[in-house]
Amino acid sequence: MDALKRLRRFAPQTVLGLVIVLGVLSLWQAWDIASHLREEARETSRIYGRIVGSLSDPTPGADTEVLLDLVEEIRNRGVPLVVTDSAGAVTAAANLPFPEGTAHPRLEEYIASLDRVNPPIRIPGVGYIHYGPLPIAGRIKWIGILQLGLLLTAVAVGIWAYRTAVRRDRERLWVAMARESAHQMGTPLMSAAAWIERLADGASDRAEIARRLRQDLDRLERVAQRFERIGRPAAREKVALGVVAEKIAAYFRPRLPRHANPITLTVHAPVSGPSITGDPVLLEWALEALVRNSVDALSGRGGHIEITVAAQGKTASLAVSDDGPGVPAEVLGTLFEPGVTTKTGGWGIGLALVRRIVEDVHGGRLELRNSARGATFVAHLPIGG
């Protein structure tokens, strides 16, 4: 298990290392091919010069000497060559891969293999020249195979690293969801326990206690409905965003601090709408998480929270703004990822959950407008659903 964790940790470095190796090999291959081509050009130019020189040399036998030298130079090039006459008999050969030379029993098979690589050249009065590739061709082929192997390895490691990251995020999300469920159930359970204790002490206001217990039970039922939605298709029904905003505001107002560092909450929503097609339970959950995020930002300093519902064209917007310190710059890039939080003891589930509800479930877009004078989260939702 420890080895697997270390492997996951160093997966990005592994991918980067493979890419670097692939790049170095590519550069080395290009440089090596360029060097051989320069050498070939130099040798070809030298051979051409010798031929021209022999044509102008009046010395008897000079041309024959040059031809013999050229034959030796061509042999030194390393290209396998076999010359056959019109009847197919071997008359000359160079750079054969076996020491027996033209006496090798499988010479005809070897000639056929050369012809499969390159068609033979017909020379009138001589016959046919069968030739193979340059020695460097084999090196290029194996380097290409090596590069392909490294590329496939890099792609495989990259896919593995991506899937590992997705699985890690999913695990973090489930852990955070479990903690969030425990947190949301804990508050009404503690409240219910307190009311039950008052009943046990013989409290006279039984009707009020029963009403409060009913509120706690309703809260627990809403929490259960929310988590019941996870992993299931979302409900599709008409949802009035103004009603959702007022409902969440009504839940928070009695629970906001009123004396030391008070927090106020207002709602601006048109009476007639807008309405969208969506899941009311999940939308309430998302809005509650945004308001709770603003409450946490204003904790200990006080301030104002504003919920604004508006519509423009075919898009409705649900915005939550506060006049707190804003979102720190160091977490802006990862703010909506599970586990990312600026609150001590926070679990980093709220904003990640909001983004999933807005973007994945309802096909909308979650936007952050951040400044030193506060933060505004805007959920853009399609009215058509």
Average pLDDT score over residue span 7-35: 68
Average pLDDT score over residue span 21-34: 73
Length of the chain: 385
2 pLDDT higher than 50: no
**What would the pLDDT profile of 212-270 be if each residue is shown by its tens digit?**
788 778 777 777 776 666 666 777 889 999 999 999 998 888 888 888 889 999 999 88
The whole-number pLDDT of residue 377 equals: 93
1 pLDDT higher than 70: no
The whole-number pLDDT of residue 315 equals: 92
CB atoms under 10 Å from CB of 286, counted, come to 31
Contact 83, 127 (CB under 8 A): yes
| More confident: 371 or 380 | 380
88 pLDDT higher than 60: yes
First vs last Cα of the chain: how many Å apart?
A: 45
Three-state SS for 146? helix
Which pLDDT band, with edges at 50, 70 and 90, does 166 fall under? confident
Which pLDDT band, with edges at 50, 70 and 90, does 348 fall under? low
**What would the pLDDT profile of 94-142 be if each residue is shown by its tens digit?**
888 877 667 777 888 888 988 988 899 888 888 898 988 877 666 667 6
Give domain limits for the chain: 79-133, 235-382
Share of the chain above pLDDT 90, in %: 13
Strands 374-382 and 365-371: antiparallel
Mean of pLDDT over the chain: 78
Token code pair at residue 159: 């896919």
Three-state SS for 47? helix
The whole-number pLDDT of residue 192 equals: 78
Three-state SS for 130? strand
CB atoms under 10 Å from CB of 51, counted, come to 13
Contact 95, 75 (CB under 8 A): yes
Contact 130, 111 (CB under 8 A): yes
**What would the pLDDT profile of 67-82 be if each residue is shown by its tens digit?**
777 777 777 777 888 8
Contact 177, 31 (CB under 8 A): no
Query: Concatenated DSSP letters for 186-235?
Result: HHHHHHHHHHHHHHHTT-S-HHHHHHHHHHHHHHHHHHHHHHHTTTSPPP
Q: Which of 6-15, 82-91, 163-172, 306-315 has the lowest mean pLDDT?
A: 6-15
Given 3.30.565.10, 3.90.1150.10, 3.30.365.10, 1.10.10.10, which CATH number is that of 235-382?
3.30.565.10
Distance CA 346, CA 326 (A): 17
CB atoms under 10 Å from CB of 265, counted, come to 20
